[in-house]
Amino acid sequence: MTGVTEEPVASRFVGGAEPVVPRRLRRTRGWRRRPGAVRDREQMSRRAKLGTYLVLAPVAILFVAPFVWMISASFQPMSTIFANPPTWVPDDPTIDGYKGFLNVGTLTESQESQGHGDWRWFANSAFVAITITVLQTFFNALCAYTFAKRKFPGRNVIFVLFLATMMVPGQITLIPNYIIVQHIPFFGGNDWMGMGGHGWLNSYWGLIMPGIVSAFGIFLLRQYMMSIPDALLDAARIDGASEFRIFWNVVLPLCLPALAANAIFTFQGAWEDFLWPLLITSGDPDKTTAPVGLALFVVQNKTDWNLLFAGSVIATLPMILVFLVFQRHFVRGIAVTGIKE
């Protein structure tokens, strides 16, 4: 019952206002909209509805079908995956694919001989993605707060420097970063000049460190923190709170929506990041993340597609879970990004 125009409450019960009738009853009683009367927001003509569904439903099926196939194929043996016509519902589902990809239980002979996946890939992915998310959210918030609420010499210069690099695509820094990571001093057999070893290549350090700071995230959080009233922070200062205490107990709780959005996007990005882990972990399959493992699995083996589909399902699950749990934050996160002026 959404009246289009604002009217005094009383008039709804006086003549002129239509009583609320359940939608099911409307048709049977022959209630029709008077021609020319303004349609209220809740109504659509039946023809429009039908047309809409006729477009939406087939498209939805096209979008979901590949997924259904992927999940179905992950429970099939190799023989039926290649069958013609394609099997959408496996006759006797098997979890061999999952076993083979996670490398648990007894593997079939062909898997033993031509390669199998590794549960470590998913553990690596989870560890790296969670670490990056936690650290990035924390350090981004620290920087954003300082830029938004502190006045100190050099603030604007540093901030402009940050903003300027937001335009730089990641591909430019990819190659130098590879060389920098290779020559981090004291790590991976390097001397103090960063020579002689492999530095952070093939290590978690190399996977995590470059992903911790994001100019974009800092910018978003700063925009959000600008709206916190200064009086609140001053009150905390008068009460004798330290700067960190103010940040931790006053500012962060107020920024939860923005922080959540930042964390979700960071986690997604880190989980499906491909090019950087591909370069960094090329020398050590034990440090590889799930996407890289999956992609190289196709290249290296005469592909066991049932294993591959199983691995794909496992790699997709966390993303879908995060999405379903944080669905509201997604939309809000997009709103936080401030598309609307």
Partner 1 sequence: MSTASAPRNVAAPDHERRPARPRESRGRRLGRRIWRERSAYLFLAPGMILFSVFTLAALIFAFYLTFHRWSIIEPDKPYVGTQNYEDMVHDERFVQAVLNTLYFTGASVPLTMLIGLGLALLLNQPLRGRALFRTAYYLPVVTPFVVSALLWKWLYNGDFGLFNYYLVKGHIIDQPLLWLSDKDLAMPAVVLMTVWSGVGFSMVIYLAGLQSIPHELYESAKLDGAGTFQRVRFVTIPLLRPTTLFLLVMGIIGSLQVFTQIFVMTSGGPVNRTTTMVYYMYLWAFKYYDMGYASTLAFALFAMLLVFTAFQLRLFRDGATS
Print burial letters for 86-102: b (CB count within 10 Å at least 16), e (below 16): ebeeeeeeeebbbbbbb
Binding window for partner 1 (CB under 8 A); candidates: 90-98, 104-112, 114-122, 153-161: 153-161
Q: Closer CB to partner 1, residue 109 or residue 250? A: 250
203 touching partner 1, by CB under 8 A: no
44 touching partner 1, by CB under 8 A: yes
Q: Closer CB to partner 1, residue 127 or residue 178? A: 178
Q: Give min distance, CB of 260 to partner 1, in A.
A: 16
15 touching partner 1, by CB under 8 A: no
Half-sphere exposure of 334 (CA within 13 A, CB side): 5
Q: Which of 103, 72, 109, 74 is nearest to 87 (CA)?
A: 72
Site for partner 1 in 168-197 (CB under 8 A): 168-180
80 touching partner 1, by CB under 8 A: no
Half-sphere exposure of 192 (CA within 13 A, CB side): 0
Written as six digits, the tokens of 104 are 């648990």
Interface pick for partner 1 out of 15, 37, 244, 302 (rule CB under 8 A) = 244
Alpha carbon 219 to chain centroid distance?
Answer: 19
108 touching partner 1, by CB under 8 A: no
Q: Give min distance, CB of 175 to partner 1, in A.
A: 5
Structural contact between residues 20 and 1, judged by C-beta atoms closer than 8 angstroms: yes
The size of the interface with partner 1 (CB under 8 A), counted in residues, is 96
Count of residues for the chain?
A: 341
Question: Whole-angstrom Cα distance, residue 137 to residue 134?
Answer: 5
248 touching partner 1, by CB under 8 A: no
218 touching partner 1, by CB under 8 A: yes
Q: Closer CB to partner 1, residue 162 or residue 254? A: 162
Question: Whole-angstrom Cα distance, residue 138 to residue 186?
Answer: 27
1 touching partner 1, by CB under 8 A: no
272 touching partner 1, by CB under 8 A: yes
Q: Closer CB to partner 1, residue 105 or residue 156? A: 156
42 touching partner 1, by CB under 8 A: yes
Question: Whole-angstrom Cα distance, residue 298 to residue 170?
Answer: 26
Q: Which residues contact 51 (CB under 8 A, 6 or more apart)?
A: none
Q: Give min distance, CB of 106 to partner 1, in A.
A: 26
Residue with tokens 């087939």, as numbered in its chain: 58
